[in-house]
Amino acid sequence: MQGCLLKRVDHTPYTQTDYYRATLQELGQQPPVATESDSLEVGWAKVNITPPAGSPLAGYGKRRGLRYSAVHDSAWVRTFAFDNGQTEVFFVSLDMLIAPMTVTAELEKAYAGLGLQPGQVYLSATHTHTSFGGWGENLVGWLMAGRYSEQIVKQTAAHIVRSIQLARQNKQPARLGYGEAYTSRLVRNRLTDSLAGRDTTVRFFKMAQASGKTAVLATFSAHATILPSMDPVLSRDYPGEMVDQLEKTVDFAAFSAGAVGSQAVVALHGDTYQSTASVGQQLAAAIKRKLPAVEMQHKVRLGYARQKLFLPEPQWRLTDNYRLAPSLFHWLFGKYPTYISSLQLGNVMLLGVPADYSGELVPELKPQGQSVVVTSFNGGYAGYITPDRHYYLDESETRAMNFYGPQSGSYLTEILNRILKQYRRP
């Protein structure tokens, strides 16, 4: 029986594996699309995606399907459209735990009707742990997101499609710029409790339409986990407050979770709305201080790709050396395709990963002459991706949530660096 249920952890160097070779082949066969022109149009839009009270919350397994009875602040999809006359791409941010795989599959039925390929739509999420669920299949999906609802999945996908349509309709000639701010006091390394290994950078884009309207898209690498897990109230957590504060200065704002693996938010007032307000306000203030100095361009290179990421057999460990058999893992979690999304906006590369990618790994990315922004939760999910050296730490990120073994950090980071190289000009 043990032989059927358990297997030894596989330590084969990933460079010697079939999944590594298959991913490299995929990168060679599906290179990015990238163009440059003298003009740029940008549009943006938001659509409320909050399902009715009585829908389940998503984010903590101990809730076991807890349904929310009130809404503190609604969930939205916020979408940007970018078009340089040759290439059109969309950035989508969901006020959800992740961009769910079931929603991704539903969206892919609609892209052709929009004249789009899947790679032109870059999905992301705020990673709030107090937004709605109902989108998870299988046993673990039920634990993390409540009972599955086909209606919630279809409605969420329809709202995303509508936001794409509205952002496209709202396009105007525009300029685009990129900036960074720093807030070291708002993030800690929850895996090691060290001052090292923290991603303390707030990365943001500033957009200005010819009409005078302005927008900001920001990322930050701290988990949106401030609010109490068993409170039956839906909320965007601190990203919602940050967006609301920014929109007192600009016309439109959006937030996406960065490399949140290992990164915890520092909330000085406990699990309260006072804390979400404080964190959100501090992040917004840090961005506002930098906005006037952002250099704006109307000549912008746009590029995109969505390339399949092949993975090893699941290695969900029960002990240091033994893992659950892959068939049992798939029965518990389901089996979904995984991709790396990439989006080039001028001299900035965005990399979308299907995981909680660790902020400790960001310094290992080598964009060479470009800035790089990592966002998590791009429509697939492969667990936590942490540095290989932490594999045997007895922590939830490296034990319960490490799905694909001792080399997942170095493997994914190499693939991201290879994608960055593909976008370099000859």
Work out the mean pLDDT of the chain and round it to a whole number: 95
Tokens of 296: 């704006």
- In degrees, rounded to 5, the angle at the alpha carbon of residue 108 between the alpha carbons of residues 142 and 93 is 70
pLDDT > 50? residue 413: yes
Buried/exposed code over 395-426 (b: 16+ C-beta within 10 A; e: otherwise): bebbbebbbbbbbbbbbbbbbbbebbebbeee
Average pLDDT over residues 390-400: 93
Q: What is the pTM assigned to this prediction?
A: 0.97
Left (φ > 0), alpha (ψ -120 to 50) or beta: where does 85 sit? left
Specify the DSSP element, H or E, that contains 306: strand 301-308
Eight-class DSSP state of 9: P
Average pLDDT over residues 153-173: 98
Left (φ > 0), alpha (ψ -120 to 50) or beta: where does 408 sit? alpha
The 10s digit of each residue's pLDDT in 242-297 is: 999 999 999 999 999 999 999 999 999 999 999 999 999 999 999 999 999 999 99
Q: Closest by alpha carbon to 10, among 386, 334, 335, 391?
A: 391
Could you tell me the pLDDT band of residue 426, with boundaries at 50, 70 and 90?
A: low
pLDDT > 60? residue 2: no
Could you tell me the pLDDT band of residue 1, with boundaries at 50, 70 and 90?
A: very low
Could you tell me the pLDDT band of residue 318, with boundaries at 50, 70 and 90?
A: confident
The 10s digit of each residue's pLDDT in 299-310 is: 899 999 999 999
CA torsion, ordered 228, 231, 233, 234, to nearest 10 deg: 40
Q: What is the pLDDT of residue 39?
A: 92
The 10s digit of each residue's pLDDT in 330-344 is: 999 999 999 999 999
**Domain ranges, ordered by start, for the chain:** 2-422
